[in-house]
Amino acid sequence: MPDPREDLRATEESIVTDATRVVALEEKKMALDPADPKVDQLSSQIERIAGGIEDKAKAEQGLSAEITGDD
């Protein structure tokens, strides 16, 4: 049976990791000329990671509620 506390901790850490990646990619993008085709590629990557963060943040809320309900 999965432990919601472990899942919550893993989710929190995963969000931090993803957010760090977004920052790194944004900085990389800022260093490029806006006309550089790599800008679009980086933007898509950032969009994908940000979408994952949104889902994980919602999962985090659900897990917190589950844990609080258990207490």
Partner 1 sequence: MGKSTGERGINRTRDGRLRGAVSWIDATGRRTEDTIASRMRVIPVATNGVGWDARAIVVGMEKGQGKPALVTNPSDDAIFAAHVDRLVERGAASPPELERGLRDVYPRASVHQRELAGERILVWYAYREGHWVRSTSETGGMEPDAGSSRGPTGD
Task: With CB under 8 A as the rule, give the number of residues binding partner 1.
Answer: 25
> How far, in whole angstroms, is CA 33 from its chain's centroid?
26
Do 15 and 60 contact (CB within 8 A), yes or no?
A: yes
Give min distance, CB of 62 to partner 1, in A: 5
H helices present in the chain, as ranges = 4-30, 37-70
Q: Candidates 23, 26, 36, 41: give the one binding partner 1 (CB under 8 A).
A: 41
Q: Which is nearer to partner 1, 27 or 37 (CB)?
A: 37
Cα–Cα distance between 66 and 18 in angstroms, integer? 24
36 sits near partner 1 (criterion: CB under 8 A): no
Q: Among 31, 37, 68, 71, indicate the residue that binds partner 1 (CB under 8 A).
A: 37
